[in-house]
Amino acid sequence: MTFTYDGELVCRQAQCDLHTTTNILATPLAATCATPFTPAVFDAAGNLVTPATARCCASALTLAQFKSMEGKMDARDARATTVDEFLGGTADFRTDLYATGGTLLSHKESIRLFDKMGAKFTPELKAVTDGFGALGLEQKSHARKMIQEYIDADINPRRVFAQSFNIDDVEQWIAEFPRYGRRAVYLDGRPVADLASDPPDLFEFQDLKASGVNIIAPPMPVLLTSNVDDEIVPSVYAERARQAGLRIISWTTERSGRIVEDVLEGGGTFYYQTTLDALNNDGDILRTIDVLARKVGIIGLFSDWPATTTFYANCMLDGNND
């Protein structure tokens, strides 16, 4: 969740991602981009010297301008020499089959849509990276506005899992909106290597719980490791968080490519890095989910390809989880 120049909240992965998630560069609104499209530069042998770049932010547009664009698959071609090429670049494990000009939504519109569908809400408030727009609002104002829009829409707090990597946002929701704050989610974005080699001690998790935080959400590799028999097992981090009484959500399965390619090529994909030795084939995605669900005890898992998590939940879970 980020904001427009006139202070409206809009659904976006980041404040400045419009050049990879919309058609802005192919519209007159390209003139608002902080960094205009710059084509890739190659040497005489055809080697890439400088990748193609652009940077376009929602905070530079009014809501009306934002709504005039079309959404697309989040992708770019670093070797592009034209705007059309730059707007391509979809990874081979993704698809543009449904990328036919998506409608961009304000936060208020998303609330109405998800409510109509009977869904729960998992809004994530993003950090500000490019100013606060014309109104000069601060982070606290945007954090407050996000929850207020659920209140104005009369959404039951039990359906809302407000999230942020900024602990100050979470603590603000707990203090100002306690009914919504009970389900606020602290996204733990500290480096995986640090959390794996030197996990927080039990007292840190207990202090977090005592502050009113009930749900913590680190990425999958923070919660998992492999033992001497190359079995996927819960990490020390996961065990301590549970011991402190914290509930756990994780992210993001199937964000990267096929597991088997990472194994064969000796890769270290971010979302599987601490269990790579225990993975042998694509079916191990389901094994990873199973350990997270049954042994770590997560209450939710974000996925970039919901078919897999839905298949697992329908076949293996009893329906009592959130």
Q: Find residue 226's DSSP bridge partners.
A: 232
Q: Where are the domains of the chain?
A: 2-103, 107-316
Q: Give yes or no for residue 300 having a pLDDT over 80.
A: yes
- Residue 159's contacts (CB-CB under 8 Å, 6 or more residues apart) are 120, 121
Mean of the per-residue pLDDT values for the chain? 90
Q: What is the pLDDT of residue 4?
A: 93
> What pTM did the predictor assign?
0.88
Tokens 């207020």 sit on residue: 148
| Distance from C-alpha of 117 to C-alpha of 113, rounded to nearest angstrom | 6
Domain 107-316 has CATH 3.50.50.60: no
Q: What percent of the chain has pLDDT over 70?
A: 92
Tokens 């199973």 sit on residue: 290
Size of the chain, expressed as the number of residues it contains: 322
pLDDT, tens digit, 9 for 90 and up, residues 125-136: 988 776 665 566
Confidence of residue 319 (pLDDT cuts 50, 70, 90): low
pLDDT, tens digit, 9 for 90 and up, residues 180-232: 999 999 999 999 989 988 999 999 999 999 999 999 999 999 999 989 888 99
Q: What is the pLDDT of residue 180?
A: 98
Mean pLDDT of 103-122: 96
Cα torsion through 175, 176, 181, 182, rounded to 10: 60
Q: Which has the closest alpha carbon to 180: 208, 154, 219, 207? A: 154
Burial annotation 26-65 (CB, 10 A radius, 16+ → b, else e):
beebbebbeeebebbeeeeeeeeeeebbbbbbbbbbbbeb
